[in-house]
Amino acid sequence: MILFTRAHEGRGHWQDRSVNDHDLELLRRAIAISASAREHGNHPFGALLSDPSGSVVLTAENTVVTGRDVTGHAETNLVRLASATYEPSELAAYTLYTSCEPCAMCAGAIYWAGVGRVVYALSEVELYRLTGDHDENPTLTHPCRSVFADGRRPTAVDGPALEDEARVPHIGFWVDGPTDGG
Ligand SMILES: [Zn+2]
């Protein structure tokens, strides 16, 4: 079932793609990983990598708090694992699924790894609505597509999708955020 097709804006070289049932299944797994990250004392973000057949080969949680590492975002953690295992030429056929749109740092990491496609659930703009100017997550609302647009090799992007489900692990987490209304 094709849920929607998103025409990509800007001057990038993405192809129009669609989010299919398998994409949604893997996005839900990424959202479940984001809930696990919260249970483990970190920020609620999760990501996974699928091979060209759609099988999950790697998963990663946010580890910013427990790892005392501000670069410990789920996608950057995943890219560290992926680039230790696969060449960029291989990763061009792989897809990274993430519970939230990659920030500029993670998009850069994804680009350098050569991952060919990104599918995300919650947009950075929606994340900012949840976090506000929270000290632990002063959200960087730069669209990941804008980062990829400046690259020399194509990165396909699909999202947002399943935003209502992706919000759930964030509920009550960013309680100190100024946009939290209660
Ligand atoms: Zn990030």
For residue 132, what pLDDT band results from cuts at 50, 70 and 90?
confident
How remote is the CA of residue 44 from the centroid of ligand 1, in Å? 12
How remote is the CA of residue 123 from the centroid of ligand 1, in Å? 12
- Percentage with pLDDT > 90 across the chain: 75
Would residue 176 be called left, alpha or beta, if left means φ above 0 and alpha means ψ between -120 and 50 degrees? alpha
- By the 8 A CB rule, do 63 and 41 touch? no
Name the pTM for this structure: 0.86
> Which is higher by pLDDT, 14 or 22?
22
**Residue 177 pLDDT more than 70?**
no
d(CA 100, CA 86): 23
| Section 141-148 average pLDDT | 93
How remote is the CA of residue 137 from the centroid of ligand 1, in Å? 10
Q: Which of 75, 101, 124, 126 is catalytic?
A: 75
**Residue 176 pLDDT more than 70?**
no
- By the 8 A CB rule, do 45 and 31 touch? no
pLDDT on residue 139: 76
**25 assigned to active site:** no
Residue 63, SS3 per DSSP: coil
pLDDT on residue 175: 81
- Residue whose structure tokens are 């209660």: 182
pLDDT one-digit tens code per residue, 55-108: 999 999 999 999 999 999 999 999 999 999 999 999 999 999 999 999 999 999
pLDDT on residue 17: 57
Which amino acid, one-letter code, is at 113?
A: A
- By the 8 A CB rule, do 159 and 118 touch? yes
How remote is the CA of residue 25 from the centroid of ligand 1, in Å? 22
pLDDT on residue 135: 77
pLDDT on residue 3: 45
Q: How far is CA 66 from CA 47, 88, 138, in A?
A: 17, 29, 18
How remote is the CA of residue 2 from the centroid of ligand 1, in Å? 28
Burial class (CB within 10 angstroms; exposed 0-12, middle 13-18, buried 19+) of 178: exposed
For residue 10, what pLDDT band results from cuts at 50, 70 and 90?
very low
Q: Give me the half-sphere count of Cα atoms (radius 13 Å) on the Cβ side of residue 108.
A: 6
> Which is higher by pLDDT, 106 or 18?
106
Q: Where are the alpha helices (DSSP H) in 18-154?
A: 21-39, 74-85, 88-91, 104-113, 124-131, 144-149
Assigned architecture for domain 21-167: 3-Layer(aba) Sandwich (3.40)
**Residue 26 pLDDT more than 70?**
yes
**Residue 14 pLDDT more than 80?**
no
